[in-house]
Chains A and B, each alone.
Chain A
Amino acid sequence: MRASLKRSLVGAAFALATLAGAVPRAMASPDQQFIPLATYRVGAYASSGVQVWAGMIDYLRYINEVEGGINGVKLVWQECETEWTAEKGIECYERFKHGLDGAPVAVYQPNGAPAAYALSERAEVDKIPLITLGYGRTEATDGTVFPYNFPVMLTFYSEASTLVNYIAQREGGFDKLKGKKIATVYHDSAYGRETLGPLKLLAEKYGFENIQIPVADPGNEQSAQWRQVRQANPDWVFLRTWGVSTPVAVKTAARFGFPVDHIIGDIWASSSEDVLPAGAAAKGYLALTPYPAGADFEIHKRLKQYILDKGHSDLKDLKNFGSVYYNSGLVNAAVAVEAIRTGQAKFGKRPLNGEEGRWGLEHLNIDDARLKDMGYLGLMQNLKLSCRDHEGGGSARVQQWDGANWTLISEWIAADRGLLRPLIDEKSAAFAKEKGLTPRTCTGDE
């Protein structure tokens, strides 16, 4: 028995080894641009992760196979599993930061909040820009203190402001907000608590009543919270949960008779996976998102023609084509590609390193015309970054769940970023003081 087990194990090892020898491994070369992919295909968030990587990889393939690379510079990518943890995230970053077979790294996407926090200072030392779309340090918006951190598109501060602006739009003007009640049901974690500050400020400015109700992790029982919501009887609920706490919140809200079409989910509570488990109770649910669901954008037509129909897609299940997570992968990949393209305009049509990648990011300017060329009009907002402003966008669209699909019910709603900027500056100044850093000055041509 023992011997046979050993023999079969040895046999299996040999079989694997020969299999490995038989398949050629893709090699990179110094004339290519390396795009490191810190992925999470196992662990708690794997089900969303596989769609995100499919979106990213499909777009990178599209750039290589259809557009012939970025200005002729081919992209090469390799995955590294992070399991959404800080340790593995650091390991992947350290593995990739010097590039792959000579192909340099221009931008790095840590894909996960714990890794993003852990890497933020390493990236400053190594001069590799980190792109954290929809997560990461809010105060890193201040590029003078955080030259290599880019929380692009929508920080949690902007998200709070977008929410209030959307509600004002629905209520018929900012003056109508006075006396209204907006309750925030939030995941009691660093992520959930990020909007406490901005909402307090916005409540003072517009005169609405700001009710904050925390849900302890993991949030699979929320009767107490929704009883509290019921008693306060708010006009709108901002749902800042994630994972299992989102469908539970939607179901519990329905049980307590709170109208689901007055619940607005945040960016991490805006996918099909968040509402499907809630079943019929979720019909009418609203969600803010910087990468709306849908497979009818121009880029999807191109991807379908050149990638999906040819069987080159990384998607396991083609019905996820155009899901929120797939589209988030597309948007993430597009930001990286456009940053490199912008950098190439200055440094020449060759692979870029981290410092050049940062220059590209800080001079990124994606307007409607560019979005139209890329096929991203409607899927992605205008994005204009600068030395001082590492967020750029600050807009989101609102989508509504009809029980089977998301429908977009608003255009891009911009945050009042000027109002919130002093809060961010205060935090970044405190950070600079704590670390003894001197913020750089922005002259416009760094």
Chain B
Amino acid sequence: MSIPLAQHTAPLLLIQRRIPWALIGLLALAFIGVPLWGNDYWLNAILIPFLVLSLAGLGLNLLTGYTGQTSVGAAGFMAVGAFATYGFLLRLPELGLPVALLGGGVISALVGLLFGLPSSRIKGFYLMVTTLAAQFFLEWLFVKFPWFYNYGSSGTISAPRLALFGHDLNTPLGRYLLTLVTVLLLTWTAINLVRSQVGRNWMAIRDMDTAAAVVGIPVVRYKRLAFAVSSFYLGIAGALWAFAYLGTASASSFDINRSFQILFIIIIGGMGSIAGNFVGAAFISLLPIFLSHAGQALFGGSVDAGQLQNLQKIIFGVLIIVFLIKEPEGLIRLLHNLRDRVRQWPLRF
């Protein structure tokens, strides 16, 4: 199912510590540049969904890219996180936002653990089908029982006041910073997690579970752990999707298409890579918007609107195919190759 990784993503030796100027620059841009220059459109329509989808991709990547367990139930766990966070904020408002968010993640992790139980007996496509069942079951659950959405008539949940230590986060900038900080913390945790014993055990299971068992890794336990941790990430991503991005969500915001979208993010971005999720999310969520703007600017009003929309879909599809043929290991590999090439420049290798 998975592709063996290159040396630099699963290093035998930790890379020598250098000051990561590029990363610092990026963070400065995210924390200083964006609040200074970003407008509502950039924050609400582009950056927040991009960050949340990256986080969701990260969650799924821990399970699929690092542990080798394919899942098509990602959106189901996102829904658990969203509805659980909503439940905490609504029924126990004294908890506050960070704890409610964490609680949503924990509930989602427990549900993930539950649906991860079959992984001890089955694998591959059969396991994938059980995650498909999780997806449909969870979606049905949040429609069927009005308790989850506080008996509203339209079956939707919407964020009760988002506030943190008295600060109102209900502005685009507030929601952006909330998302950014959450994503950063979780990404940092994930980087450390995959470099730790746990991450190495996951990768051993992915590469060959029999061999992993032979060297003494408790395979079943680590698979379940991967389900729980992945669902924790997805749950928090789901809560952010519902409250920081959409504002009002329902079970159908987390349908099977969302699961596929997240799966595509990790396939296109790069399985078994942290940065790959960000690249994949950018590709999946930003490229169609770019194409739409380009189409409108170039042909708006002069070419039939329906044809124009279909043309954008075709271009998007062709680009996916081209990139995957060119680099089956994902865009992140393409970027790494490019970086290596630039380092050697002007000498060719």
Contacts and interface: CB of A to CB of B under 8 A. Distances in A.
Nearest to B48: A90
A41 interface: yes
B150 A79 contact: no
Interface centre among A41, A53, A316, A427 (most CB of B within 10 A): A41
A282 interface: no
B305 A79 contact: yes
Interface in A397-446: 427, 430-431, 434-436
B298 A190 contact: no
Given A97-B40, A190-B154, 13 more contacts: A20-B302, A90-B45, A95-B41, A117-B154, A118-B248, A121-B248, A138-B153, A188-B140, A190-B143, A190-B155, A190-B156, A193-B143, A434-B90
Contacts of B158: 117, 120-121, 435
A41 B153 contact: no
B305 A137 contact: no
6 contacts: A53-B305, A91-B46, A91-B289, A94-B40, A114-B253, A119-B247
Q: How large is the interface on A (under 10, 10 to 19, 20 to 34, 35 or more residues)?
A: 35 or more
B184 to A, nearest CB: 22
Contacts of B140: 188, 216
Contacts of A434: 90, 150, 160
Interface string B192-236: 000000000000000000000000000000000000000000000
Interface string A67-91: 0000000000011110000111011
A39 interface: yes
A26 interface: yes
A277 B90 CA distance: 45
Interface in B30-52: 40-41, 44-46, 49
B23 to A, nearest CB: 28
What are the 9 closest A-B residue pairs judged by CB atoms, nearest first? Answer: A190-B155, A23-B302, A20-B298, A94-B45, A41-B306, A91-B45, A26-B301, A117-B248, A118-B246
B301 A25 contact: yes
- Per DSSP, chain A at the interface is helix
Interface residues of B, number: 48
A118 B247 contact: yes
A50 interface: yes
Contacts of A427: 152-153
Contacts of B7: none
B168 to A, nearest CB: 11
Interface centre among B156, B251, B285 (most CB of A within 10 A): B156
B309 interface: yes
A194 B153 contact: yes
Contacts of A80: 292, 296
